[in-house]
């Protein structure tokens, strides 16, 4: 993977983890978390998230913690 793509993937993962962290802590509701992820200025596609699977991604992360 190219350096730029690797960096962009890492940034997307960090931002996604940050937003999901607020949901896990109870700071944000499910809908707020979904909205923030979809509106975040990151390329979610690099980490395999899109509008078709975002609900599953949020729910699966909560089950892990």
pLDDT digits (tens, 9 = 90+) for 29-62: 999 999 999 998 888 889 999 889 999 999 987 6
CA–CA separation, 4 and 60 (whole Å): 28
pTM of this structure? 0.84
pLDDT greater than 60 at residue 65? no
pLDDT tens column, 18-29? 999 999 999 999
Report how far residue 45's alpha carbon sits from residue 53's, in angstroms, rounded to the nearest whole number: 11
Residue-level pLDDT at 62: 65
Give me the residue label for tokens 């962290």. 21
pLDDT at 32: 95
Tokens 């350096």, residue? 3
pLDDT at 11: 93
């Amino acid at each position: 993977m190219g350096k730029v793509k690797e960096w962009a993937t890492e940034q997307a993962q960090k931002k996604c983890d940050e937003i999901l962290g607020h949901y896990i802590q109870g700071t944000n509701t499910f809908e707020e978390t979904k909205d923030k992820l979809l509106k975040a200025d990151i390329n979610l596609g690099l980490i395999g998230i899109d509008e078709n699977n975002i609900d599953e991604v949020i729910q699966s992360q909560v089950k892990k913690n």
